Amino acid sequence: MQICHRDLKLENTLLDGSTAPRVKICDFGYSKSSVLHSQPKSTVGTPAYIAPEVLSKKEYDGKIADVWSCGVTLYVMLVGAYPFEDPDDPKNFRKTIGRILTVHYSIPDYVRVSMDCKHLLSRIFVENPGKRISIPEIKSHPWFLKNLPMELKEGGNWESHDVNNPSQSLEEVQSIIQEAMKTTEVPKGGELFLGGSMDLDDDLDGNEDLEDVESSGDFVCPL
């Protein structure tokens, strides 16, 4: 699929109810197709997960930016914290963006992470997207392949499973879509700011106090 998601994060991943749960990605509201659409250049997504090039005001490869977000997701599952938030000042939005741009992160000593996993993270968290590890390279990385069932490796037949037997009927899918399209109550006061949209350029260039911005909330900044 020639699609970049542009808002990959734990909150947008789901597990189905099968014995061996499968991961499903949801919320394609910011996604773009490299076949149907132009190269993305808008700053959208969730600050804690966003790649440096997305902040550049230039066109970028959305699929490679998604790899960065996958790295943040992996880090959060391993450490239980966001890699680029200042541990002493986690709600300081300006510091989070600064640490993303300089790729300033570390793995705490109290967290046991294998050398292979550390190496994979170091290949994902690369400022230059042209030098960042790609999805095909990740799929051949030693950490990714460790304990991976044979049928899920390259050349396996997992892709043919359930193609003609979807887990949900068309009626169920349509019902879910209709429910999602219902108007929801708009939060009051500052609650909207945390999960709603914000102009990143104005916030970073201005003199506003960004001490208490929640960097794990969404923002949208069309450039």
Residue 205 has pLDDT above 70, yes or no: no
Of 101, 104, 148, the closest CA to residue 128 belongs to: 101
Residue 221 confidence (pLDDT): 45
* Lowest mean pLDDT across 37-46, 140-149, 196-205, 213-222: 196-205
Higher-pLDDT residue of 99 and 150 is: 99
Q: Over the stretch 152-171, which tens digit does the pLDDT of each residue have? A: 777 655 554 554 566 677 78
Please provide the size of the chain in residues: 223
Q: What is the DSSP letter of 121?
A: H
* pLDDT tens-digit map of 24-74: 899 888 888 876 667 788 888 899 999 999 998 889 999 999 999 999 999
Q: Is the dihedral of CA 53, 103, 99, 68 positive or negative?
A: positive
Are 49 and 10 in contact by the 8 Å Cβ rule? The answer is no
Give yes or no for residue 189 having a pLDDT over 80: no
Active site residues: 7
Distance of CA 171 to the CA centre of its chain: 30
Angle between the 62-79 and 115-124 helix axes, to the nearest 10 degrees? 140
Q: Which structural domains are found in the chain, ordered by start?
A: 39-147+192-212 (1.10.510.10)
